[in-house]
């Protein structure tokens, strides 16, 4: 069931059926999962009503959010706004429907030292139906819109499970600080939001 309590629409039901096998593999087959998400992201006719429901506001709209297992969300951030750098604790795939979604992957450096940090490992500008996938522990990333890279995207995010069930980490690029996100803490939506005091 979707969060609205109605039966799943066929395109979403078909996506979940097609990724069931690849998602259940001992190591999830992210290439197959990403290809299936890309197929759905290219269905602009079906997804138009979800974009209209979200409207121009910055936020996320759950399309399918069961208690456990894969979940699908539509996200949109305003011009020039990126998410906080974070990890998910579960596999993730992201594909824009319209617009350009910047997706940056980060890696931890200075492990074993007194003050480990992160450095940029990959920076891609995803356009319609292109896809990026991540698998823990190599899932540190941020995404959203950078000025000069087209219009802000409406993007589909497909997660292997409810990320708020896991202990995760988020980073602040301006200060270099990180903080632990305990289960239930969704973290900061935008990198421009201040890191909570005492983090």
CB 91 within 8 A of CB 33: yes
CB 42 within 8 A of CB 129: yes
pLDDT at res. 175: 87
pLDDT at res. 95: 98
Nearest alpha-carbon partner for 118 in 132, 137, 100, 135: 137
8 or 134: which carries more pLDDT confidence? 134
Nearest alpha-carbon partner for 87 in 181, 190, 22: 181
Give the pLDDT band of residue 117 (cuts 50, 70, 90).
Answer: confident
CB 141 within 8 A of CB 87: yes
CA 119 vs. chain centroid, Å, equals 19
pLDDT tens digits for range 68-80:
999 999 999 999 9
Lowest mean pLDDT among 40-44, 57-61, 73-77, 195-199: 195-199
pLDDT at res. 2: 39
Segment 146-151 shows an average pLDDT of: 96
pLDDT tens digits for range 159-199:
999 999 999 999 999 888 899 999 989 999 889 898 887 65
Round to whole Å and give the CA distance between 138 and 162: 18
Nearest alpha-carbon partner for 90 in 158, 156, 36, 136: 136
Per-residue pLDDT for 115 more than 90? Answer: no
Q: Which CATH superfamily is domain 10-181 in?
A: Jelly Rolls (2.60.120.10)
Domain ranges within the chain, ordered by starting residue: 10-181
Give the pLDDT band of residue 18 (cuts 50, 70, 90).
Answer: very high
Mapping DSSP to helix (H, G, I), strand (E, B) and coil, where does residue 156 land? strand
Per-residue pLDDT for 114 more than 90? Answer: no
Nearest alpha-carbon partner for 176 in 108, 105, 102: 108
Per-residue pLDDT for 87 more than 80? Answer: yes
């Amino acid at each position: 069931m979707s969060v609205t309590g109605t039966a799943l629409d066929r395109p979403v039901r078909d996506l979940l059926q097609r990724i069931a096998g690849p998602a259940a593999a001992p190591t999830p087959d992210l290439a197959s999962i990403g290809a299936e998400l890309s197929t759905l992201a290219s269905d602009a006719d079906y997804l138009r009503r979800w974009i209209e429901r979200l409207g121009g506001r910055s936020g996320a709209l759950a399309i399918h959010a069961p208690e456990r297992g894969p979940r699908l969300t539509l996200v949109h951030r305003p011009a020039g706004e990126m998410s906080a750098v974070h990890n998910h604790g579960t596999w993730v795939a992201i594909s824009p429907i319209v617009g350009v979604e910047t997706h940056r992957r980060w890696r931890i450096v200075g492990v074993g030292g007194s003050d480990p940090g992160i450095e940029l490992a990959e920076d891609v500008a995803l356009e319609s139906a292109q896809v990026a996938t991540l698998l823990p522990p190599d899932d540190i990333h941020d995404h959203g819109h950078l000025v000069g890279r087209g219009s802000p995207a409406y993007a589909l995010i497909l997660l292997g499970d409810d990320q708020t069930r896991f202990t995760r980490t988020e980073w602040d690029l301006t200060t270099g600080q990180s903080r632990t996100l305990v289960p239930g803490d969704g973290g900061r939506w935008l990198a421009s939001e201040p890191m909570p005091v005492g983090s």
